[in-house]
Structure 1
Amino acid sequence: MTDLDATTLRNSYDSQLRALVPDPLPAGVTVERDGPLIRMLGLDRRGFLTYGDLDGLTGAALDELIARQVALFRERGEPVEWKLHGHDEPADLADRLRAAGFVPEEQETVVIGAVAPLAAALPVVPEGVRLREVTTRADLDRIAAMEAAVWGADRSHLAPALEKEIAADPQSITVVVAEAGDEVVSAGWVRYVPESGFATLWGGSTLASWRRRGIYRALVSHRARLAHQRGRTLLQVDASDESRPILERLGLVPVTTTTPYVYTP
């Protein structure tokens, strides 16, 4: 696809990515359906709720659907994320989620761009930094430690989750670290979405002392090249406010927003 019209891209995102269920599933992960909702259990930190759309549910019927999720996860004693998009219907969905006890976390912007021009650019990293593709638990633990240092929060869930994903289908994901000597200074991973034109980018956190040196941009280019090799034509990112300007300069287009609404028993 070469048309970078935001509406066309958003329609592709809705139809190809939003209701995606990984196949095969990582060990311990199960999927259930409740009407239009896809409910994923056994993930790293919390349950996950997604959907292509809500089949026109409104009012009491929508409240009942939300209440069933709250009851199930209250019984499990486990938090759950409802991934709400800015263009979701009905317009009062966020209000209904809040009324049911869901709390919004930080909003991100969904950006999408063509793979080919990004893949054409050679990744350029600062002197002394190298990019390396990794699969071992030791390297995944190093990534989690770097992320914990960046965010000042526990990221211990990250390494086992990536390890399970790699074990389930090693051809569906590539994890890349940027290293300066023995130190992981940044990392990101790319997922190749089956039966679609998409690859999706995740991670990209960079230690404060290594920012503004082109490392994030290099990681994007490297992963775009991997996506291009696998025949993907579109690249999608849930972008933070920090990464969004970089990605827009690289040609990715904002198409909607996404906000995790989290219920915690």
Structure 2
Amino acid sequence: MSRAKRRERSILELIPAALRDHPVVRQALVHKSASRDPLDSNERLEFLGDAVIELVVSDYLYRRYPDVDEGRLTQVRSALVSRRSLGSVGVQGGLLEAITVGQADALGPVLAANAVEALAGAVYLAGGFQLSVAFVLAILGPSLERVDGDLVLGDYKSLLHQALAKLHHQPPRYKVSWSGPDHDRRYRVVVQLPGGFEAAGEGASRKEAEQEACRLAILEANRRAEAAGLAQATTEAPSRPPRRRSSRRASPRPSEPERAGGA
């Protein structure tokens, strides 16, 4: 089975089995170029699904991060529900092979993003809100995991530079490479730390790959910081003045010889 077919089956299986053959779900995979009547295409479902996805993501972020301010939550939500993000989800999930189109040149990340929205709307209509919540959270799972790292741990690149600064090291260097077609490009970033250590990360964008590389590099930077701290403590230990409890205990009390001489 080809890689594309495995992906296609994977993303479509995120839809509850009882709903996969539902007419509205099938309609979600019909592009307007393949339908004589626009009302029979997935355009209206895109409209509904856009609102469903935004509500589900908003609810998730609000409950998951009670200490994050509104401005930051809005930025994160915008990134998660953007055309670029949903297009990547659709392409990675093989939706371009599942959508019925009338024009081959219509295929692309934008069409994949539209299909993701249409499927979210279809699951909402066919199965209700709770099933649509489960579906949206499932398809955005990897993206939500990255958000968790960013909001809980912060920006990995900034954290890495801070860790190296504590060790009085120069900032790291980055090497960027990529492969694959424009609609399914994969990036690889290698971060080079002082001392010859390297950490590599991959992702659907340069930023994503860079963050992963920095996350792995932080582990090494922290290990070095701990090792340096232990070495410093070991070096300083002998300089501490010795305690003389035993010599004080061995000194005779002045009154004892006087009493002995008077005996």
What TM-score do the two structures reach when normalised by structure 1? Answer: 0.21
Larger Rg, first or second structure (1 or 2): 2
Structure number with the higher helix fraction is 2
